[in-house]
Amino acid sequence: MDKPTFRELIILLKPHLKATNCVSLEEQVMLFLFVVGNSASNQLSGERFQHSGETISHYFNKV
């Protein structure tokens, strides 16, 4: 996905999601796209984004 498309997606999702101290809005969307686009496991996603499996699941479900 190119940067302008990603930025447009962030703009569309911004009213529905909230950034936290732990995970920015952009990272939440990247995490979701990584899991969906790669059929990535929770463990692989946790390693890639350096978050626990619980955090990965939480933000994946929010998006």
For residues 34 and 45, is the Cβ–Cβ distance under 8 A? yes
pLDDT > 90: percent of the chain: 95
- Quote the pTM value: 0.88
- What is the structure's pLDDT at 12? 96
Output the DSSP codes for 1-63. --HHHHHHHHHHHTTT----SSS-HHHHHHHHHHHHHHT--HHHHHHHHT--HHHHHHHHHH-
pLDDT in tens, 21-47: 999 999 999 999 999 999 999 999 999
Q: Are 13 and 31 in contact (CB under 8 A)?
A: no
Q: What pLDDT, on the 0 to 100 scale, is given for residue 9?
A: 96
Domain ranges of the chain: 3-62
